[in-house]
Chain A
Amino acid sequence: MSELVEKRFKITEVSMTQHEAEELPNLLGDASTPVCASFFQVRGELPGFLLLVMPVHEVAALLEPLVGQGEGEMADSAIGEIGNIVGSAFLNHIADHYHIYAAPTPPQVFRDMIGALMGSLAAVLVSGGKLEVPVVRTQLTQNEGVLSAFLLWIPESFSLDELRQSK
């Protein structure tokens, strides 16, 4: 991500927690916060969901040097590609470590309130019989503290205990 946007980011938090699906809308704080998100399904031996979430009011500063604008078709394409690169790097690391295959679908880009976005995901999980899910959360912060981004990985087929035991 740092290479792509030519700004240095550092990982300031990594956590792995178990949540009921209905808790997801409030997972990242105020549910009414407007965000940009790259959303992926994960295929292969680790099916699940991957999201890169960035607050709307902070993302324009990231995109303008790259595409000349904070909104529009090219800006959304950039958000999707940033998510693809960050999410794929995360999956590459896990896949190589455990000698498995895990790949994201092409990204879908959303601009919505974080609560609405996570609520939709919770509905998908519940309709698939997943009432409780593990969430791996990584926070990325630009060194100047201007932008925080969250990468959320919600695996469908592993329990939190299995993930911890496999480390």
Chain B
Amino acid sequence: MALVLVVDDAAFMRMRLKNVLVQDGHEVIEAGNGVEAIEMYRQHRPDLVMMDITMPEMDGITALKKILQDDPSAKIVICSALGQESTVIEAIKSGAKDFIVKPFQPERILDAVKKQVG
């Protein structure tokens, strides 16, 4: 089972993601923006990061780039409502392993986790 860092400014969405992941046996830690995500990643070195894009303080794409600068082996999946073509391409080019467009089905989340961490 994996340690997953869930990054989303919406407490409601963190709760939904956490419920899905915990019910599947994973451990979850949370951050509310990109700045917190970088700090949490450095402290805990999670197996996977589920990252929103639109957040205050620092957006998810910027945070993704900074985490990958620190740890090129970091596994980061974007989970965002902002699913327009240019954004998906930018995220994948920046190093995201997958892109899930909200609203998500729980199975889609668990499939992404399984693919990345087994």
A: which residues have CB within 8 A of B?
Answer: 1, 3-4, 66-67, 73-74, 77-78, 80-81, 84-85, 87-89, 91-92, 95-96, 99, 101-106
Given contacts A88-B81, A101-B87, 18 further A-B contacts (CB under 8 A): A1-B103, A67-B12, A77-B11, A77-B12, A80-B12, A81-B10, A85-B102, A85-B103, A88-B54, A88-B102, A89-B83, A91-B82, A95-B85, A101-B86, A103-B54, A105-B54, A106-B9, A106-B56
Measured in the bound complex, the distance between the Cα atoms of B9 and A73 in whole Å is: 13
Residues of the B chain whose Cβ atoms lie less than 8 Å from the Cβ of A95: 84-86
Measured in the bound complex, the distance between the Cα atoms of B80 and A89 in whole Å is: 11
Which residue among A87, A95, A105 has the maximum number of chain B CB atoms within 10 Å of its CB? A95
Our pick among B12, B53, B84, B105 for the contact of A91 (Cβ within 8 Å) is B84
Residues of the B chain whose Cβ atoms lie less than 8 Å from the Cβ of A88: 54, 80-83, 102
* CB pair B55 A96 closer than 8 Å: no
* CB pair A81 B12 closer than 8 Å: yes
Q: For chain B residues 49-63, which have a beta carbon within 8 Å of chain A?
A: 53-56
B: which residues have CB within 8 A of A?
Answer: 9-13, 15, 53-56, 80-87, 102-103, 105
* CB pair A103 B12 closer than 8 Å: no
Which residue among A1, A85, A104 has the maximum number of chain B CB atoms within 10 Å of its CB? A85
Closest chain B residue to A84 by CB distance? B81
Give chain B's interface secondary structure class. Answer: loop
Once A103-B54, A103-B87, A106-B56 are accepted as A-B contacts, the answer to whether A3 and B81 lie under 8 Å apart by CB is no
Residues of the B chain whose Cβ atoms lie less than 8 Å from the Cβ of A89: 81, 83
Measured in the bound complex, the distance between the Cα atoms of B82 and A87 in whole Å is: 9
Measured in the bound complex, the distance between the Cα atoms of B56 and A91 in whole Å is: 19
Residues of the B chain whose Cβ atoms lie less than 8 Å from the Cβ of A92: 81-84
* CB pair A80 B54 closer than 8 Å: no
Measured in the bound complex, the distance between the Cα atoms of B11 and A73 in whole Å is: 9
* CB pair B15 A74 closer than 8 Å: yes
CB distance from B98 to the nearest CB of A (A): 18
CB distance from B104 to the nearest CB of A (A): 8
CB distance from B31 to the nearest CB of A (A): 14
Once A74-B12, A77-B11, A81-B10 are accepted as A-B contacts, the answer to whether A101 and B54 lie under 8 Å apart by CB is no
Measured in the bound complex, the distance between the Cα atoms of B105 and A130 in whole Å is: 41
**Can you report 12 residue pairs joining A to B where beta carbons are below 8 Å apart?**
A3-B103, A67-B12, A84-B102, A88-B81, A88-B82, A88-B83, A89-B83, A95-B85, A96-B85, A99-B85, A101-B87, A103-B87
